[in-house]
Amino acid sequence: MGTLRRNRYLVSGAVLFLAVLLWDAVVRLAGYPDFILPSPGSVLARFTAYAGTGRLWPHVAMTLQEVFLGFGLAFCLASLLGYFIAHSPFLERAVLPLVVIFQALPIVALAPLVILWFGFGLTAKIIVCSLIAFFPMLVSTVVGLRGIDRRLVEVALIFGADRWQMLGLVEVPLALPVLLGGVKVGLPLAVTGAVVGEFVSADQGLGYLINLGRGLFDTPLMFVSLFLLAAIALGLYGGVTLLEHALQGE
């Protein structure tokens, strides 16, 4: 299994390397200026220069703070509501359609309202992050708990398991793969939510840097911010994957 995983990483690395070569070839052959499409070298030079000033890392730290706090809020709310929905058909019929309707509203349209109601500070960004990450984790919680073999639940009840024992020893372990699947979706979406919030109103964060680069026609800076966002999302996804393998003993 370890060899297969290493091979996957090697293939992914090779594909990424070829994509960078193709990108550089397109820029060179077409002769695009940096403000249209910068070369990989220009983006790397911009990253090195901006990171060297020390001004880049506070933006990264702000975006990470928004992502973790927003995801944490979404995870807690989705887990709690999902647990009750999974155990109550009445609550599912009453609440889930409202959640679906709310989820159908574009987060780009909701973000200005959230900023208006909760101000221009960190709280509004956290709420925007949690709104976009909430629904997939709610669905995974409901599906995971509903998918547990009822015979195992009945056996646990026969042996006298109370609600907390049922949750900790039966429901969570058996639903864990589905729950982690929701987390894998929710974390990258929280990154998107942070950027949306920073687009609407922010003076710090990677989303703010993208807006700043766009206004100054500093396209290399925009690419730096985009690649950092991609690296954050990929790192978070990889972290959850490693946790999943560890819990499954792989």
The residue extents of the domains of the chain are: 1-31, 37-247
pLDDT of residue 246: 81
Cβ(187)–Cβ(71) below 8 Å: yes
* pLDDT tens digit sequence for 44-68: 999 999 998 989 999 999 999 999 9
pLDDT of residue 3: 63
pLDDT of residue 150: 81
Higher pLDDT, 103 or 227: 227
d(CA 26, CA 37): 9
Fold of 37-247: MetI-like fold (1.10.3720)
Judged against a pLDDT cut of 80, whether residue 38 lies above it is answered with yes
pLDDT of residue 17: 87
Stretch 117-125: mean pLDDT? 87
**Which pLDDT band holds residue 76 (cuts at 50, 70, 90)?**
very high
Q: Which of 24-28, 74-78, 157-161, 197-201 has the weakest average pLDDT? A: 157-161
Beta-carbon contacts of 99 under 8 Å, excluding residues fewer than 6 positions away, are 135, 138
* pLDDT tens digit sequence for 162-220: 778 887 878 888 888 889 999 999 999 999 999 988 888 778 899 999 999 998 899 99
Judged against a pLDDT cut of 60, whether residue 98 lies above it is answered with yes
Q: Which residue has the tokens 């992050």?
A: 129
pLDDT of residue 221: 94
Stretch 30-52: mean pLDDT? 90
Q: Which of 14-18, 19-23, 167-171 has the weakest average pLDDT? A: 167-171
Closest CA to 41 of 229, 206, 224: 224
**Which pLDDT band holds residue 249 (cuts at 50, 70, 90)?**
low
Q: Which of 16-25, 73-82, 157-166 has the weakest average pLDDT? A: 157-166
Closest CA to 214 of 188, 206, 192, 115: 206
Mean pLDDT, rounded, of the chain: 87
Exposed, middle or buried by CB within 10 Å (0-12, 13-18, 19+), for 237? middle
Higher pLDDT, 14 or 141: 141
**Which pLDDT band holds residue 5 (cuts at 50, 70, 90)?**
low
The full length of the chain comes to 250
- For residue 201, what is the DSSP state? S
Dihedral pair phi/psi, residue 113, rounded to 5°: -65, -40
d(CA 84, CA 90): 10
